[in-house]
Amino acid sequence: MAERGWMAVAPGRPTGVAIGAAVADLEISRAWLVDPSSGREGPGELVVSDGVLEAVSWLAGDEAAGIDDGGVIVAPGFIDLHAHLREPGNEDAETVASALAAAAHGGFTAVCAMPNTSPPADEPGVLSLVRAAAAASGSPVALLPYGTVSAGRAGEVLAAIGELADAGAVGFSDDGAPVRSGSLLRNALLYAGAIGLPIVDHPEDLEQTSGAEANEGLVATILGLRGWPGAGEVAAVARDLAIFADVLTDSPGARLHLTHLSTAAAVEQVRAAKRRGLPVTCDVTPHHVALTGEWLAGARRWAWQALDDSGRARDPWADGVLVAEPYDQSTRVNPPLRSADDAAACLAALVDGTADAVATDHAPHTVVDKAVEFGVAATGISGIETALGLLLAAVDAGRLTLGRAIGALTTGPASILGARLGRSAGLTEGAPADLVVFDRSDGWRVSADGLVSRGKNSPLIGQTLSGRVLLTLAGGRLAYEDPALADPYALPARHPWRHRLGAGRSPGDRRTDARRSNGDTPSPNNRRSASAMRSSRIARRLLGQLVPLARPGPAGGPSSTLRA
């Protein structure tokens, strides 16, 4: 049996690191590392010390034997370009604290918060409110706020874009709605472009989609739901691209990002525009890649399973795949779940880079808002915790490479946020540790209780997804820890892990501290020696323990240096 990454836990002791506390000491050995920013992927090990990613070592030859990408994987922390945190104004659905905790459970270490709160984030006061809530939550997950494009999201006049930028906005969006007026969009692109921030548009032609309930097509016809024509998105994308092209001549720094594209035709327009050299970017959601409108009729198969060999959507009634009740309100989302060929186009866009990123459009709702008749139910899927699982389903089916999936969650969003992300998007030595550890061989069953978000509106409840998140570190601090890690006896015997996770300072750091307080600044030489010490310690451990432990070692073994 192939050996997975290993981690040793001091027997009988919980790791004892509180959420939000700095991680003093983490070593992960023999895992599969994925680092899209350097383009590298493969067996490796890493060491976090005092919150900083001290060392990343890539294994080769005999050392790498037996480690593959089917087990424990370490990736840079994910970045979500599009999430609704609901605070202020709808705290029953979600608060900043619960959203950031949910994000960490999903492996995300940075979340961009959409401004369609109540009041909307159209001026700096609301922004500071949101950031204060993030700070008060104690979560180390970074909150990157958007400001609105228009005052009050009314679509008439510009919001306080400059002030919002100064207050820390990373972009502007009227999401929930498109920027209705073409001339306002033009002005917003110009104005924000001069400041160097993007406009994120939700492309929807409201005239065509008014009252719509489900994607225009066979399912909507048979279920008697008002159709949501694909042209409603395509026309809006065309408008946005045309305006953007015009604006660029005056303001080459302007940036347009189209969010949650869902139709093949819209994706094709972006592809053509990029080929022409237009610096437009776009994202797709995990649910538009993995689910289809069939789910409204009660199907529960992945989008790629609903496609026939010639690339056409299959008929779920003919295939007899309707296993759940129809009209499940958790499948109601804007844009709607589309046809299998649309989903395939979104996936293809991810593969060829037309879609720069995956963004979750995390949209939590209260039970009250969802447990009503389908046509009046609130739109949105609570998706930040299931994003990884959906992408891994595509990877498991051979439709997407692991590297591209991780890239779409890390380097892709980073390229759109640029400097405003405030950190690197890779496994970078010397930077504060920002990473996620997940086990691809271990699945988890999605349940209302198991979701950390207050929004339980997920169509995946009852499904099993692969890729259980074990550990999330954001900015060197612990953001999420799988409960099983604290109990060594709960660790599955099949993959002997070794990790040490400690807060507080280890002997080596105390020596460094002592020198620092004596006025000796740690020179690069000293730093290197510290990491060299770590590496040699790993080497000694490796040499001494070539046989993987099936159980944690005896008390007083190598883990005895752990400080909790």
Partner 1 sequence: MSLDVERPGVGDAPAAGDSTPAGGRPPAVDRPPAAGAWLHRHLLDVDALSWPDIDLVLRTTDAMREVLARPIAKVPALRGTNVTILFYEASTRTRVSFEVAARNLSADVSNIAVASSSVTKGESLVDTVKTVEALGARILVIRHAVSGAPYLAASVFTGHVLNGGDGWHAHPTQALLDLYTMRSRLAGDVAVTAPGAGRFLSGRKVVIVGDVLHSRVARSNIWTLTAAGADLWLCGPATLLRGFEAWARAGAGGVADRRFTVTSDLAAALRDADAVMALRIQQERMAGGMLPSLREYAARYGLTAERLGAAKPAAFVLHPGPMNEGVEIAPDVASGPRSVITDQVTNGVAVRMALLYLLAGSAGGEALGG
Does the protein bind partner 1 through residue 325 (CB under 8 A)? yes
Binding-site member from 66, 70, 374, 431 for partner 1 (CB under 8 A) = 374
> Which one of the spans 98-106, 373-381, 393-401, 552-560 is the region binding partner 1 (CB under 8 A)?
373-381
Binding-site member from 317, 397, 486, 538 for partner 1 (CB under 8 A) = 317
Q: In angstroms, rounded to a whole number, what is the distance separating the alpha carbons of residues 114 and 171?
A: 10
Does the protein bind partner 1 through residue 371 (CB under 8 A)? yes
> Which one of the spans 216-224, 231-239, 379-387, 551-559 is the region binding partner 1 (CB under 8 A)?
216-224
Phi, psi dihedrals of residue 551, rounded to the nearest 5° = -130, 160
> Which one of the spans 102-110, 123-131, 214-222, 469-477 is the region binding partner 1 (CB under 8 A)?
214-222
Q: In angstroms, rounded to a whole number, what is the distance separating the alpha carbons of residues 404 and 382?
A: 23
> Which one of the spans 258-266, 318-326, 518-526, 535-543 is the region binding partner 1 (CB under 8 A)?
318-326
Q: In angstroms, rounded to a whole number, what is the distance separating the alpha carbons of residues 132 and 127?
A: 9
- Sign of the CA dihedral 401, 405, 406, 412? positive
With contact defined as beta carbons under 8 Å apart, do 32 and 42 qualify?
yes
Q: Give, rounded to a whole angstrom, the gap between the first and last alpha carbons of the chain.
A: 33
Q: In angstroms, rounded to a whole number, what is the distance separating the alpha carbons of residues 121 and 518?
A: 48
Residues contacting 237, CB < 8 A, separation 6+:
203, 258, 261, 266, 269, 270
Within residues 327-346, the interface with partner 1 by CB under 8 A covers 327
- Sign of the CA dihedral 377, 380, 386, 389? positive
Within residues 57-76, the interface with partner 1 by CB under 8 A covers none
Residues contacting 378, CB < 8 A, separation 6+:
332, 365, 369, 370, 457
Task: Name the minimum Å distance from CB 231 to partner 1.
Answer: 13
Q: In angstroms, rounded to a whole number, what is the distance separating the alpha carbons of residues 270 and 441?
A: 36
Does the protein bind partner 1 through residue 318 (CB under 8 A)? yes
Does the protein bind partner 1 through residue 315 (CB under 8 A)? yes
Task: Name the minimum Å distance from CB 327 to partner 1.
Answer: 3
Does the protein bind partner 1 through residue 504 (CB under 8 A)? no
Q: In angstroms, rounded to a whole number, what is the distance separating the alpha carbons of residues 43 and 60?
A: 7
User: Which has the closest alpha carbon to 215: 355, 337, 93, 385?
Assistant: 337
The Cβ of residue 58 has, within 10 Å, a number of other Cβ atoms equal to 16
Which residue number, 372 or 533, has a Cβ lying nearer to partner 1? Answer: 372
> Site for partner 1 (CB under 8 A): how many residues?
30
Does the protein bind partner 1 through residue 373 (CB under 8 A)? yes
3-state helix, strand, coil in the chain (%, to 5): 35, 20, 45
Does the protein bind partner 1 through residue 205 (CB under 8 A)? no
With contact defined as beta carbons under 8 Å apart, do 372 and 294 qualify?
no
> Which one of the spans 211-219, 266-274, 357-365, 480-488 is the region binding partner 1 (CB under 8 A)?
211-219
Binding-site member from 39, 125, 224, 492 for partner 1 (CB under 8 A) = 224
Which residue number, 63 or 319, has a Cβ lying nearer to partner 1? Answer: 319
User: Which has the closest alpha carbon to 34: 68, 73, 71, 90?
Assistant: 73
Does the protein bind partner 1 through residue 326 (CB under 8 A)? yes
* Radius of gyration from C-alpha coordinates of the chain: 24
Task: Name the minimum Å distance from CB 556 to partner 1.
Answer: 57
In this structure, are strands 227-228 and 214-215 parallel, antiparallel, or unpaired?
parallel
Which residue number, 213 or 233, has a Cβ lying nearer to partner 1? Answer: 213
Which residue number, 36 or 298, has a Cβ lying nearer to partner 1? Answer: 298
User: Which has the closest alpha carbon to 542: 131, 44, 87, 99?
Assistant: 44
Q: In angstroms, rounded to a whole number, what is the distance separating the alpha carbons of residues 130 and 100?
A: 12
Does the protein bind partner 1 through residue 221 (CB under 8 A)? yes
- 56, 72, 446 from 471: Cα distances, Å: 17, 11, 18
Binding-site member from 76, 298, 426, 467 for partner 1 (CB under 8 A) = 298
Q: Identify the active-site residue in 80, 175, 342, 361.
A: 361
With contact defined as beta carbons under 8 Å apart, do 251 and 258 qualify?
no
Does the protein bind partner 1 through residue 216 (CB under 8 A)? yes
> Which one of the spans 174-182, 274-282, 366-374, 491-499 is the region binding partner 1 (CB under 8 A)?
366-374
Annotated catalytic residue 240 = no
With contact defined as beta carbons under 8 Å apart, do 174 and 155 qualify?
yes
User: Which has the closest alpha carbon to 326: 250, 222, 472, 415?
Assistant: 222
Within residues 401-420, the interface with partner 1 by CB under 8 A covers none
Does the protein bind partner 1 through residue 323 (CB under 8 A)? yes
Task: Name the minimum Å distance from CB 233 to partner 1.
Answer: 18
Which residue number, 222 or 452, has a Cβ lying nearer to partner 1? Answer: 222
Task: Name the minimum Å distance from CB 180 to partner 1.
Answer: 20
Which residue number, 108 or 327, has a Cβ lying nearer to partner 1? Answer: 327
Which residue number, 187 or 209, has a Cβ lying nearer to partner 1? Answer: 209
Task: Name the minimum Å distance from CB 93 to partner 1.
Answer: 17
Q: In angstroms, rounded to a whole number, what is the distance separating the alpha carbons of residues 343 and 494?
A: 36
Task: Name the minimum Å distance from CB 379 to partner 1.
Answer: 14
Binding-site member from 60, 368, 532, 539 for partner 1 (CB under 8 A) = 368
Binding-site member from 129, 190, 194, 222 for partner 1 (CB under 8 A) = 222
Binding-site member from 3, 92, 163, 319 for partner 1 (CB under 8 A) = 319
Residues interacting with partner 1, by CB under 8 A?
A: 213, 216-218, 220-227, 298, 315-319, 322-323, 325-327, 368, 371-376
Indicate which residues carry an active-site annotation. 361
